[in-house]
Amino acid sequence: MAEDVKFKVSIDGIPVEVAPGTTILNAARQIGGDIVPPAMCYYSKLEGSGGKCRTCLVKVSKGSEKDPRPMPKLVASCRTTVMDGMEVLNITSPEVVEARKGVVEMLLINHPLDCPVCDQAGECKLQDLGYEHGSEGTRYEFDRRTFERIDIGDKIQLHMNRCILCYRCVFTADQITNNRVHGILNRGDHAEISTYIAKAVDNDFSGNVIDVCPVGALTDKTFRFKNRVWFTKPVDAHRDCPTCSGKVTLWNRGTEVLRVTARKDEFGEVEEFICNTCRFDKKHTDDWILEEPTPVDKDSVIGANHYPEFNPPPVIKPDLELQEANEEQLARTEKLK
Ligand code: SF4
Ligand code: FES
């Protein structure tokens, strides 16, 4: 049957079989681990997303079984579908690693380096990307692009200077509303997400633009400057909500619920969008049925100082010779008694 057809692909030498029409990025996600290209704009839950940021570039070293010629340029893995017999290089290609460094440099041209005061620090995809692929210094000598502050209500903070124009919030607004209420105005250096977001913020699900934003351009006003994310403890919880699934992550400090977000999967994407009542209005532990601590990536700063269990290795290693000598000494002492 046609739906049983699978294409054999290899990514960084690891084989995987996927359905025709699968993108290289999603094929890599089926393998998982380090070979998954980073994605700043693609979001599997948002139809039409991807193709904007170029962080997911990979090298196709063999096009397919039928036409083994390599692709002449690096391709965006979120937008390129696999072919049978395709061979792809990601972290094993120096060319890709170098290109990704350039993409990070480009994204950081206008992004302010205000991580010390940004609420997204610790869970910012650009921060992670900069850490993994960025250069130490900048070659950019001009003024950074800046915008006037726009007030979009009492729940969501828009900080346009930090926006990397990934369009995720645009697609989210499109998905949660029936009319077009949100988009990118102007182009090039003047491009900015439109003030029409003010219309989308009335929607019950508007808070989800905070969760999909990969940087600190859209943040939760009810959590703003309250704490650093690595001092909080994420816990999965749920409630009986008439509007959404009610499955969330609570970010607690002690017994205080500082922030509520949707649960995210291993690729940092929201599992299910949550409503604004759950996100902004349910800030007491009593509002929730607690489940278990949210799994945190071992390399994430959020997990810092949170030990699930503490099993220190024995500091003193047993010294067999010394033990024997002690036993002999004990025996001699016993005899003398
Ligand atoms: S505000 Fe955030 S989600 Fe929206 S386009 Fe900018 S970076 Fe992307
Ligand atoms: S994730 Fe592919 S271009 Fe942004």
Write out pLDDT tens, residues 134-159: 887 888 888 888 888 878 888 899 89
Lowest mean pLDDT segment, chosen from 104-113, 181-190, 226-235, 252-261? 181-190
Q: Which ligand is nearest to the CA of 23?
A: 2
Give residue 47's identity as a one-letter amino acid code.
Answer: E
Q: Which atom of ligand 2 is the closest one to the Cα of 57?
A: 2
Q: Which ligand is nearest to the CA of 218?
A: 1
The H-or-E segment that residue 168 falls in is helix 168-176
**200 falls in which pLDDT band (50, 70, 90)?**
low
Asked if 51 and 121 sit in the same domain, the reply is no
Asked if 128 and 65 sit in the same domain, the reply is no
Residue 250 included in any domain: yes
Residue 105 included in any domain: no
Asked if 130 and 164 sit in the same domain, the reply is yes
**Can you give the pLDDT at residue 194?**
66
Q: Is the pLDDT of residue 44 over 70?
A: yes
Query: Cα–Cα distances in Å, from 76 out to 31, 83, 145, 184?
Result: 18, 15, 26, 22
Give residue 301's identity as a one-letter amino acid code.
Answer: V
Answer yes or no: is the C-beta of 260 below 6 A from any ligand 2 atom: no
Task: Express as a percent the part of the chain with pLDDT over 70.
Answer: 88
Q: Are 237 and 248 in contact (CB under 8 A)?
A: yes
Q: Greater confidence, 323 or 60? A: 60
Tokens standing for 220?
A: 């939760």
Q: How many CA atoms lie within 13 A of 198 on its CB side?
A: 7
Asked if 208 and 305 sit in the same domain, the reply is no
Number of domains in the chain: 3
Residue 104 included in any domain: no
Asked if 70 and 17 sit in the same domain, the reply is yes
Asked if 118 and 95 sit in the same domain, the reply is no
Q: Is the pLDDT of residue 310 over 60?
A: no
Residue 266 included in any domain: yes
Q: What is the mean pLDDT of residues 63-74?
A: 95
Burial 269-290 (b: 16+ CB within 10 A, else e): bbeebbbbbbbbebbebeebee
CA of 304 to the centre of ligand 2 (A): 29
* Residue where a domain terminates, one of 189, 218, 247: 218
Number of other residues whose CB lies within 10 A of the CB of residue 331: 9
Cα(166)–Cα(132) distance, rounded to whole angstroms? 20
Asked if 203 and 273 sit in the same domain, the reply is no
pLDDT in tens, 106-137: 999 889 988 999 999 999 999 999 988 888 78
Q: Greater confidence, 1 or 178? A: 178
Q: Are 210 and 232 in contact (CB under 8 A)?
A: no
**287 falls in which pLDDT band (50, 70, 90)?**
very high
**Can you give the pLDDT at residue 314?**
56
pLDDT in tens, 313-324: 555 666 778 888
**Can you give the pLDDT at residue 182?**
62
Q: Which of 316, 310, 250 is nearest to 284 (CA)?
A: 250
Q: Greater confidence, 265 or 134? A: 265
Q: Is the pLDDT of residue 25 over 90?
A: yes
Q: Is the pLDDT of residue 191 over 80?
A: no
Q: Which ligand is nearest to the CA of 162?
A: 1
Asked if 186 and 274 sit in the same domain, the reply is no
Asked if 297 and 248 sit in the same domain, the reply is yes
Answer yes or no: is the C-beta of 16 below 6 A from any ligand 2 atom: no
Cα(247)–Cα(238) distance, rounded to whole angstroms? 4
Q: What is the mean pLDDT of residues 55-66?
A: 96
Q: Is the pLDDT of residue 333 over 90?
A: no
Q: Which of 217, 219, 221, 157 is nearest to 192 (CA)?
A: 217
Asked if 331 and 237 sit in the same domain, the reply is yes
Q: Is 51 exposed, middle or buried (0-12, 13-18, 19+ CB in 10 A)?
A: middle
Residues 6+ apart with CB under 8 A from 176: 200, 203, 204, 205, 206, 208, 273
**Can you give the pLDDT at residue 46?**
93
Asked if 42 and 115 sit in the same domain, the reply is no
Q: Which residue's C-alpha comes closest to atom 4 of ligand 1?
A: 169
- The residue segments making up the domain with residue 35 are 5-99
Cα(222)–Cα(283) distance, rounded to whole angstroms? 10
**Can you give the pLDDT at residue 301?**
82
* Residue where a domain terminates, one of 155, 183, 218: 218
Tokens standing for 55?
A: 């962080």
